[in-house]
Structure 1
């Protein structure tokens, strides 16, 4: 692993990385996060019927919208022509929680990891917002990149998935 930070110039100042010489390749990233909640809150979320509407559908849409706005939210992140974003929310198999998974795709000169991570973050926050009236003790965590393909640095897959 390189110790060089590409967003910091030799003078120590922040900079946007110049990707103009990089090849255009198909790139894809998958990220996940978890929202832990009480059993009652989970049951309500899975019913997809709250006073605010379907929390899963709204959160999935929020994740897609956030992926499209990533470069507006994250300094030095390149705006990308996304070719696909999919956000899915499912019940955790072992815990009282919902798992948010986002897959982002592009054909470009830089990766889509930040778009996938931003989608997960926004979807998790939206779940919290949709359900906070019944459970303010929810915990958002485990937001991480689980897979990426394409680009100069090669493919990555989290070891324990």
Structure 2
């Protein structure tokens, strides 16, 4: 097993030096789920939630979250993202909303943290907008689905490296 990249030889936290790394196209996808009551699902389905377009607001919040990741997560590099997309899918039969976030850039470090932050902030915003209807909602399943670029190449949640 390799050592942690954010810990120096003395065991102190530090920001990784990426100056010697090659610029490559890097992408990452992450997901999260917000489980909620039937009444909250129905409001979303009908599109008459009193707070308006909750998916639209949540999507924009997730995009903003990705852009602000280095302000939120210590030791993350500020990145010039070229693409951030957030998709929300109402899965009424499972009483949940699936969130998938995608981030992309040409750079020296990956965008997994930005994709995770986008999915997280989207889920938190959705929770905030629906909590009056269902304060017992749950946010679950936050994970990286896939990453591309850099020396490790293509990785996906199945665990196999791709050439």
- Scaled to the shorter chain, the TM-score interval is over 0.9
Tell whether the 8 Å contact from 1:92 to 1:98 is kept in structure 2 after alignment.
yes
Deviations 1:101-151 (A, max 9, x none): 000000000000000000000000000000000100000010000011000
Match of 2:109 in 1: 110
Measured in 1, the distance between the counterparts of 2:60 and 2:31 equals 16
SS in 1 for 2:94: coil
Measured in 2, the distance between the counterparts of 1:53 and 1:91 equals 16
Tell whether the 8 Å contact from 2:99 to 2:122 is kept in structure 1 after alignment.
yes
Tell whether the 8 Å contact from 1:67 to 1:85 is kept in structure 2 after alignment.
yes
- Report the RMSD for the aligned CA atoms in angstroms: 1.3
Q: Which runs of 5+ in 2 are unaligned?
A: none
Match of 1:9 in 2: 8
TM-score where L is the length of structure 2: 0.94
More moved, 68-77 vs 150-159: 150-159
Any residues of structure 2 matched to 1:2-151 within 5 Å, and which? 2-92=1-91, 95-151=94-150
Tell whether the 8 Å contact from 1:48 to 1:56 is kept in structure 2 after alignment.
no
Runs of 4+ in 1 over 4 A off after TM superposition: none
Deviations 1:71-120 (A, max 9, x none): 00000000000000000100237511000000000000000000000000
Measured in 2, the distance between the counterparts of 1:110 and 1:36 equals 33
Aligned length: 159
Measured in 2, the distance between the counterparts of 1:117 and 1:47 equals 29
